[in-house]
Structure formats: structure tokens, C-alpha cells
A and B are shown apart, each in its own frame.
Chain A
């Protein structure tokens, strides 16, 4: 009797305990070596000369200009992509028209284009050697090596984030609620703000969060388009590269640490959203 009670049977749908412990141990070590070690290195290298060194690095005019540039770009690019995402989701999920699948593929396209190629496209389109670019420069509206180019590059890279998060959610919710609101006499805008928006708010926030993280951290496309003019068109990631190549290691890693903290904050908020509102997010129900 007691023998049976003491030996816990191994369930047939799991691995033997030894295999389980080995796999868990292996997974933890793998994550520690490949994910945590690089993250810790950022902070360790930033603090190599103590807090004073890191704070001095943040006071460098080039670093401050880069931080301002990155914040400005994100402040403009994220709302544009959010507005685009909502408009695209409304058009795609509330109406039936031809070519919808193709349109969704086009929206996802920037995910599979190399950031450097994205930058190259903008240089070819708006650079001084193209007709359009030459005309824009002649009229004092340069795009490449200037603010608009960085903005367009960031928009391209972050393009699908909001749309692909809210399209599946709105698709699943259907049109009945909006149609009921209209029948009851609500205007189009009122229907959107009181019926649609509350339904998609967590998915929208989730998409905005990911969009913002990528917008602030984009490197390849911005490096190509911005010309990396310090104090003028350098963003935080491109400034990190310049500091690093000049052997200003502490300055490079301090800026990197600021971005790493932003990444950690993003992960924290993202996890909170996933735990509390998993049923209202598309990402957590992906197949």
C-alpha cells in the first residue's frame, strides 16, 4: 500500500524526470549565455568608469542631440503608423473588395526587406542623383541626409507593426456591433470611438509598443539614409556606431544602455499586456 502511495507514477504524456531536469537546465543555460549575457554586457561596459563616466557620456552634446533626434522621430513615426494601421484595418475588415489578400501581403512586405535595402530605395528615390531628389534639393527640401529621410526610413521599417496587430482582432470581432450602433443613430465617428476603439484598444497599444521599440532602435535603414551627420541627423543607434568606431566605448555603451532599458521596459509592458489581456490580442493567439 504505502509503496504505491510513495512512488509517483510518471505520466505517459511527459518525459522521465531526469530528461526533464536536463532539458530545463539546458534551456536556462542557453538563454543565459545567448540572451542575458549580451544584455548584462551592455550595462557592465557602460559602467566601466562608474556612474560618473556614464553620466558624463550622456552630457556630451552629440549624445544629447542623438537622443532628441530619436525621440522626435519616434514621436512622429509612431502616430503616423498607428493612424495608418487603424485606417488599413477599418478598410480591410469592414468592407469586402477585390485584391484584399494582395494588399495584406503588401503591408507585410517591409518585414522581409533588409533595412539596408530599404535605405537604398529611399536614396535612389530621393537622392541628389534622381530627378525627383534633384528637384527637391533645388527647392530647398532635401530628404536624403536630412530629417524627412530618417522619418521615411523609420516609417518603412515599422510599417506593418500596428496594422498586423489590429487587423486580426477586428476581423474576429466582425461588423455586427458597428452596424447596430449605426442603426441606433450613431454617426460614423461616434461608432468608431465608442464601439470599435474600445474593442481594439489593447491590441492597438500592443502594436504601438512594438512599433515604438523598433522606431527608436532602427539602425540599418537610418544609417544609409541619414548620412550620420553628428548633431544634425545622427540618431541614438547611429551615434552608438560612431562613438564605438572612435573607441569612445563608455559613451557608446551608455547610449546603448539607455536603449536597452527602453527594450526592457517594452518587454515588461508587453508581458503585462499578454498576461492580462491575452484574449484581446492577436499576437498571443497566433497559429
Chain B
């Protein structure tokens, strides 16, 4: 009765208890820490914040984190689409096995992935030795960061696109073929547009995850300041120097990037729902 303006009546019990538990845990675990970071930013003030961020090392780290995440997510966009298509449309031996394996990057701890990729691509590793004669060095260069982020981001694209391919209406493809379209034309002009919203969502999710990724990257990156030093590592370094204000400044910059991407993902979803109807 008291809360009737904010909530409609329900015969079910337990609103107070469940809402109370939810808000308590949410506040302690998520809201308070975020408030602490933003509060620190307010205490520092926008001008000092900008001064702290305005250094070559931080700028290099932030652009590297974003650029590498963008390259890896674009790569995943193409190969994730291919993988999802093959897994849904074709029947072959070991399909279920590969389908289950796509989630490996979700399940494997990032530090484990990091040292494994480093061992593979290091100059004395299996892949490192194979690539050396071609003049390609992966470990301890920016390419190594791309490889780690491709590993981390792959399931996001596959798992977002896969259900949409599963629900494609065969009618559309049949009509297109009946009207004389060649298969490649049907794929490009009929199927790809239908998959675009899901592809963009998967791409944005992979990008959001990759920008902040730490565990899988720091082993393979080499961590040379201005060259292969990612933004999260710079936060760790500043914290180890007890330079909390500088760490908070980079953290706020990354949080702003994360929020922007979260908004972008929501906008894509709203746009796709309007475009395709209530799928």
C-alpha cells in the first residue's frame, strides 16, 4: 500500500525480502565501488584529471588497447560468422565437439590462456618457430596482443550470430533462388542483411571485453612502455607505485569507454528490433 505509487500490487509474497537482498548485495558489490572511483574523479577535478591523462605513455596505452581490440574484433567478426555458419548449416563429423569448444575462451581462465599463447608463439615455441622463417614475430609485439584478443573475443560473435542463423526462414532463400539469384548473391543480399544486427552486437560485445582484457594479454605483449603496454597494465603499474590518483584517472577513462560501448550495444539492439520486428 505504501509503495503503491512505485509498484503495482501483487498477491505474491517476498517482495521486501528479495528486493532487500538484491539491493544490499548490489550496493556493496557493485554500486559502492563504482561510486568510489567516480568520487575520486570528482575530488581530483576535471582539469587535473585531464592533465594526468595527457601524457604520451597513457595516450599510447589507451589507443593501443582500443586499436588492438578493434582489429581483433573485426577479425572475429569475419571468422566468427564463418564458424557460426558452418556449425549451423553443415553436418560433419565432430561438429558437436567443435560447437562445444567454441566456449573454451569463456571457460579457460585468462591467465592460463595468456601463458599458453605465449609458450606457443614465443621464438622457441611451436608456432613461433614456424612463423620465424616468414619474418613474422608474434610474441612480445602488438600482433601477440591481437592473437590473445582474438582468442578472448571469438565466442561472443559466434554465440550471438548462431541462434539468428538457426532461425533464418528457408523461404527467403528459396524465393531468392526461384527469382534467379545465384547463391552468392542470395548470401550477400538476403542473408547478410538479416544477420547484420546480430553481427554488430557480437562485434560490440567482443570489443567491450577486449578493451579491458588484462590476463591473457600481459604475458604475450612484452609490455614495452609506449609500444606494447596496454591501459589496464598501466593502472596496475600506477597502483604498485601507490599513485592512486593517476590510476583512478586511467580507470575513469576506461570506464567512460566501457559505458559508451554499453550504450552503443543497447542502441544496436533497439535499432535491430525496430528493423526486423520483434524477433
A residues adjacent to B (C-beta < 8 A) = 12-16, 20, 23-24, 26-28, 30-31, 34-39, 41-42, 45, 80, 83-84, 86-88, 90-92, 94-98, 103, 105-107, 109-118, 120-125, 127, 129-130, 152, 155-156, 159, 175, 178-179, 182, 188, 191-192, 210, 213, 216-220, 223-224, 236-238, 240-241, 244, 249, 252-253, 256, 259-260, 263-264, 266-268, 270-271, 284-287
Contact = CB atoms under 8 A, between A and B. Distances in A.
A249 B124 CA distance: 14
Interface stretch (B31-39, B47-55, B135-143): B31-39
B10 A96 contact: yes
Contacts of B85: 23
Contact of A117 (B117, B183, B254): B254
Contacts of B13: 182, 188
Interface in B107-163: 107-113, 115-117, 119-120, 125-127, 150-151, 154, 159-160, 163
Nearest to B276: A287
A84 B23 CA distance: 9
Given A179-B12, A263-B108, 18 more contacts: A15-B183, A42-B112, A84-B21, A95-B19, A97-B6, A106-B26, A114-B213, A115-B232, A116-B232, A120-B37, A120-B235, A121-B33, A156-B30, A213-B106, A219-B109, A224-B236, A259-B108, A270-B107
A270 B105 CA distance: 14
B211 A114 contact: yes
A240 B218 CA distance: 13
30 contacts: A27-B83, A27-B87, A30-B79, A31-B83, A31-B101, A38-B113, A38-B151, A87-B19, A94-B10, A94-B12, A96-B7, A97-B7, A98-B7, A109-B30, A116-B232, A117-B235, A120-B235, A120-B247, A125-B36, A152-B29, A156-B30, A179-B12, A192-B14, A217-B109, A217-B112, A219-B109, A224-B236, A263-B109, A263-B112, A286-B159
B22 A112 contact: no
Nearest to A210: B106
Contacts of A179: 11-12
B177 interface: yes
B7 A95 contact: yes
Nearest to B98: A31
A84 B21 CA distance: 7
B interface SS class: helix
B244 interface: yes
- Which of A24, A98, A178 is the most central at the interface, judged by chain B CB atoms within 10 Å of its CB? A24
B104 A220 contact: no
Given A41-B116, A95-B12, A266 B107 contact: yes
B82 A287 contact: no
B30 A240 contact: no
